[in-house]
Structure 1
Amino acid sequence: MAEEKTIMERLFQELDSKTKALNEENGQSFIENLGLAMEDIYQNNRELLEQATLADRRKAFQFAYLSLMQQQEIQANHQITPDSIGLILGYLVERFTEGKKELNIVDLTSGSGHLSATVHEVLKDQTLMHHLVEVDPVLSRVSVHLANFLEIPFDVYPQDAIMPLPFEEADVVIGDLPVGYYPVDDRSHEMKLGFEEGHSYAHYLLIEQAVEALRGSGYAFLVVPSNIFEGENVKQLEKFIATDTEMQAFLNLPKTLFKSENSRKSILILQKKERDVTLSVEVLLANIPDFKDPQQFQKFMGELNEWLQQNHHKN
């Protein structure tokens, strides 16, 4: 006798088959059709959707996304942030904002919205207002469909995240930052981390935008290249971080998540400086162990909690 499928598996199969059927009908990209498939289930298959938890729904979306990546070559900036990274980032946000009942969270370069969805899943005891900024029109539309499918509120801003943002005073900014050069020199010349000559680094400018969007003493949790503090322009970045923020932590993500040492990423945590409020801390530098090693992971959690007690005992 065949095993009965879980709700998550049924939801994934529904999404997957609907996306492929739509693809044959309309010839749009798989990603666009995944958005339409989510909308179709949201409107026409309430019975199945209402049996599914938030985690079921998000995982079904993630598996459908990974499945369609095998059908169609997709560009690098259309990759989704793996949930292992999203879950640890969500846990860090939770620990640093303990005691706050409501959070305004901005996600810069939010892509399909998967990172925000994963963080939302972790922060279940807080009321969250999500603001997602994504320049790619296909991805920003998918994130609107994802918000409906998950039934969580996303305000989606379809714009370049390095251009002036339509809000300020976020409690938290998150982002899995794309790496590369930013082509709009007129804009980068207005910014502290813009280079005087040639194109500036997009990931530097996004760090500045993240800090700019925060209220005083708010936190940024940013996924950045592990080698971000190497190279010829690093002094400019270090000066900005030292002047405008209190750097909290630089945590290397597990090696096993990346193809090579060169593509490895880390989580950079910054607190926006606020006169007479923010205090300098001893920066936490650590390697996050492989999630599959619970013993090492518990040890890391212990170190993090001890560091928080010593450096953020008022929180």
Structure 2
Amino acid sequence: MTEEKNIMETLFKKLDEKSKDLHDENGQSFIENLGLAMEDIYINQRDVLEQSTLQERRKAFQFAYLSLMKEEIIQPNHQMTPDSIGFILSYLVNLFTKNKETLNIVDIASGTGHLSATINEQNPNKTVMNHLIEVDPVLQRVSVHLANFLEVPFDVYPQDAIMPLPLEEADVVVGDLPVGYYPVDERSKEMKLGFEEGHSYSHYLLLEQAVYATRPGGFIFMIVPDSLFKGEEEVKQLQKFIATETEMQAFLNFPKNLFKTEQSRKSLLILQKKDSGKTHSVEVLLANIPDFKAQTQLQTFLSEVNEWIKENHSL
């Protein structure tokens, strides 16, 4: 165990130091230089990399990212999906698709690719094909470097995820949705969740895109504001879209202690895209996910989810 920890720490220190050295040399952002540091290890320090597991590499990247965030103020949409959220989402992806050996997964608004990396790591018995869609050029480059560093194949699509997607329909679409307003009104007006007046909600439009990117019968796992269904007219529009296009499966609130403010709290919305004659409505699973440190409560929660799956998705 100590040796494993040492390899992860060695990788973390190499990434951290190299990123800071590169920043001093080229003046680019720490995040950009973290990508270059991963590439340097991948090309020039194979001996260290080959001693490490996928989890050790991902954790080294995660700790380096969190370390570099202390060096510069980063925008909210550059925040990384926390491990605990990534793990529970990955576990549920596995549970809902347990009869599938191969998974085609789209990560919409994928950021650094850390969520995709976590899902890949937590589904070792499946062949996972990852398709990442990200508009930010810095994050696109980081996710390409991360794929090389982990030696996990990512297809990275450098585009606005709300624009038409050049993809075949996926088995699963995941996303940690950035919250805000989408500035391209011409595109919003082409979509069912676009508003008639003013800018539309980007998280609504991304949710709509996620549904379109999923094959009939496939599943959608979206990390959304826990206030998603609170509000007035816009919420009715959202609820109608979800009821028309999908069978809602679950709305699970993440533990409060993962978030700094009430406003930043998130939940996990799980939908199944309708497939005529094959999908059916279920009793929606509504629950609070226990604190991840409360192991007994967490195990009870996971057992309840397993029971729910057996009752509603007998395979």
Range into which the TM-score falls when normalised by the shorter chain: over 0.9
TM-aligned CA deviation for residue 263 of structure 1: 1.3
Match of 1:42 in 2: 42
Match of 1:272 in 2: 273
Matched, 1:252 2:253: yes
Match of 1:117 in 2: 117
Q: Which amino acid aligns with 1:289?
A: P
Q: Which amino acid aligns with 2:219?
A: Y
Q: CA RMSD for the aligned pairs?
A: 0.9
TM-aligned CA deviation for residue 169 of structure 1: 1.2
TM-aligned CA deviation for residue 299 of structure 1: 0.6
Contact 1:179 1:203 in 2 (8 A): yes
Match of 2:182 in 1: 182
TM-aligned CA deviation for residue 78 of structure 1: 0.8
Match of 1:289 in 2: 290
Contact 1:78 1:111 in 2 (8 A): yes
Match of 1:137 in 2: 137
TM-aligned CA deviation for residue 74 of structure 1: 0.9
Matched, 1:57 2:57: yes
1:253 and 1:18 map into 2 onto residues whose CA distance is 35
TM-aligned CA deviation for residue 261 of structure 1: 2.1
Q: What TM-score does the superposition give when structure 2 sets the normalisation length?
A: 0.98
Q: Which secondary structure does the structure 1 equivalent of 2:263 belong to?
A: helix
Match of 1:72 in 2: 72
Match of 1:7 in 2: 7
Matched, 1:165 2:165: yes
1:15 and 1:261 map into 2 onto residues whose CA distance is 34
Query: CA offsets, 1:272-309, max 9 Å, x none?
Result: 00100101100000000011010000010111011111
Query: CA offsets, 1:30-85, max 9 Å, x none?
Result: 00100000000000000000011000000000000000000111111111111111
Match of 1:105 in 2: 105
Match of 1:308 in 2: 309
Contact 1:162 1:209 in 2 (8 A): yes
1:171 and 1:247 map into 2 onto residues whose CA distance is 16
Match of 2:191 in 1: 191
Contact 1:168 1:212 in 2 (8 A): no
1:259 and 1:40 map into 2 onto residues whose CA distance is 35
1:262 and 1:27 map into 2 onto residues whose CA distance is 34
2:303 and 2:87 map into 1 onto residues whose CA distance is 17
TM-aligned CA deviation for residue 168 of structure 1: 2.7
2:100 and 2:226 map into 1 onto residues whose CA distance is 30
Contact 1:218 1:271 in 2 (8 A): yes
Contact 1:181 1:200 in 2 (8 A): yes
Q: Which amino acid aligns with 1:216?
A: P
Match of 2:209 in 1: 209
Query: Which residues in structure 2 correspond to 1:26-41 (within 5 Å)?
Result: 26-41=26-41
Query: CA offsets, 1:154-204, max 9 Å, x none?
Result: 000010000000013100000000001101010010001001111110000
The share of aligned pairs that are identical, in percent, is 71
Query: Which residues in structure 2 correspond to 1:218-257 (within 5 Å)?
Result: 218-232=218-232, 233-257=234-258
Contact 1:81 1:114 in 2 (8 A): yes
Q: Which secondary structure does the structure 2 equivalent of 1:6 belong to?
A: helix
Query: CA offsets, 1:227-267, max 9 Å, x none?
Result: 10011210000000000000000000011100122211000
Gaps of 5+ in 1: none
1:202 and 1:178 map into 2 onto residues whose CA distance is 7
Q: What TM-score does the superposition give when structure 1 sets the normalisation length?
A: 0.98
Q: Which secondary structure does the structure 2 equivalent of 1:71 belong to?
A: coil
